[in-house]
Structure 1
Amino acid sequence: MAKLYFYYSAMNAGKSTVLLQSAHNYKERGMRPLLLTAAIDDRFTQGQITSRIGISAQASLFTNDTDIMQTVLLESQSNELSCILIDEAQFLTKEQVYALSDVVDVLNIPVLAFGIRTDFQGELFAGSQALLALSDKLIELKTVCHCGSKATMVIRLDSDGKPVKEGDQVQIGGNDRYLSVCRKHFKEAVRN
């Protein structure tokens, strides 16, 4: 029986690396995974999932307007899909997450979604909120704060390296723009 999995963490926990390893494992067994990533994330090459450790794979893009079920049905026409692997799942809409649960429940295709749980203000992303509610299995991938504690939060930094407390929820960036920290250091950053 297929399941909907949500692998979540702060930044720099290796979400894309785990996704790419999963894709490799499926392919090595002669199975066909469908890889999806958010079109909004343009840090690397669009249409590609890239890990900070230097591995990558081609992926189909999704936007807020993508009909996930239609995408899966079209992809599975030519060759049966073994699983769906989604990078940057926090950018999914609530409706898209519901469609992914239909992929699992109706089509019996496992879905593994990888994303960040909260934004730089400690608020849930819409996709993450829906995944936390609907997933059959939640898996936390861990990374560490500069103090050595588990990092569960993300701080957005300005061009001078100072914490940003206001702004749009989505601003694409990497290590130059975001820092993963523990809750204690997150609260210190937003209070100062």
Structure 2
Amino acid sequence: MAKLYFYYASMNAGKSSSLLQADFNYRERGMATMLWTAALDTRSEGLVRSRIGLEAGAYLYSVDTDLLAEIRAFHREKPLDCVLLDEAQFLTREQVWQLAAIADDLGIPVLCYGLRTDFQGELFPGSAALLAIADALVELKAVCHCGRKATMNLRVDDEGRTISQGEQTAIGGNESYLALCRKHFRAALAG
């Protein structure tokens, strides 16, 4: 039975490189995969790209993409063995249920990778839905500067000062976010 997986972590935990390794493992065995990433992340340019230099082409999804219809149509032409999706925090609740239908009805495993929480410690809509209905939840580990497990994402400005207000989504990497343990996240927000 195919499952819906959610691999989640803070920034800099290796989510994209883990996705690319899983994709490589399927393809090395002659299996067909389909990769997706968020169109919202304009840095990706249609690629799943890791900080360690690995990358692969991917289909782009936005909030109005019907993932079930797109993947079903592709699967009819070329049977798929796995669907892998990066930046899963940007999924809508409806899209998460579409991915569940792909696993349940089409029998294709779906591996989703994304952030659990935003820079204010709040769940993203896609992450909340995945935490609620995924068959398997896997936490990937990042490390805070103190050596503890990093579970939080601190947003910072160009000078490294904490940003505590603003839109939930602001695309950026190491220049905009720090992965911290909860203790150091709370301390940074307290100022």
TM-score bucket (shorter structure): over 0.9
Q: Which residue of 2 aligns with 1:104?
A: 103
Q: Which residue of 2 aligns with 1:38?
A: 38
**Mapping of 1:10-159 within 5 angstroms?**
10-44=10-44, 46-159=45-158
Does the residue aligned with 1:129 lie in a helix, a strand or coil?
helix
Equivalent pair of 1:43/1:174 in contact (CA under 8 Å): no
Does the residue aligned with 2:21 lie in a helix, a strand or coil?
helix
Does the residue aligned with 1:139 lie in a helix, a strand or coil?
strand
Unaligned runs of 5+ in 2: none
User: 1:89 is aligned with what amino acid?
Assistant: A
Where in structure 1 do 4 or more consecutive aligned residues deviate above 6 Å?
Answer: none
User: 2:79 is aligned with what amino acid?
Assistant: E
Equivalent pair of 1:8/1:140 in contact (CA under 8 Å): yes
Q: Displacement of 1:172 after TM fit?
A: 0.2
Does the residue aligned with 2:153 lie in a helix, a strand or coil?
strand
Deviations 1:105-135 (A, max 9, x none): 1111100000000000000000000000010
CA RMSD, Structure 1 to Structure 2 (Å): 0.6
Q: Displacement of 1:77 after TM fit?
A: 2.0
User: 2:15 is aligned with what amino acid?
Assistant: K
Q: Which residue of 1 aligns with 2:8?
A: 8
The two structures have a TM-score, normalised by structure 2, of: 0.99
Equivalent pair of 1:35/1:59 in contact (CA under 8 Å): yes
Determine the C-alpha separation between the residues in 2 that align with 1:108 and 1:74: 14
User: 1:185 is aligned with what amino acid?
Assistant: H
Q: Displacement of 1:160 after TM fit?
A: 1.4
Determine the C-alpha separation between the residues in 2 that align with 1:39 and 1:117: 19
Deviations 1:117-157 (A, max 9, x none): 00000000000000000101100000100010000000000
The two structures have a TM-score, normalised by structure 1, of: 0.98
Determine the C-alpha separation between the residues in 1 that align with 2:116 and 2:162: 19
Q: Displacement of 1:189 after TM fit?
A: 1.0
Q: Displacement of 1:184 after TM fit?
A: 0.2
User: 2:142 is aligned with what amino acid?
Assistant: T
User: 2:19 is aligned with what amino acid?
Assistant: L
What is the aligned length?
Answer: 191
User: 2:163 is aligned with what amino acid?
Assistant: V
Percent identity of paired positions between Structure 1 and Structure 2: 56
Unaligned runs of 5+ in 1: none
Q: Displacement of 1:36 after TM fit?
A: 0.3
User: 2:66 is aligned with what amino acid?
Assistant: D
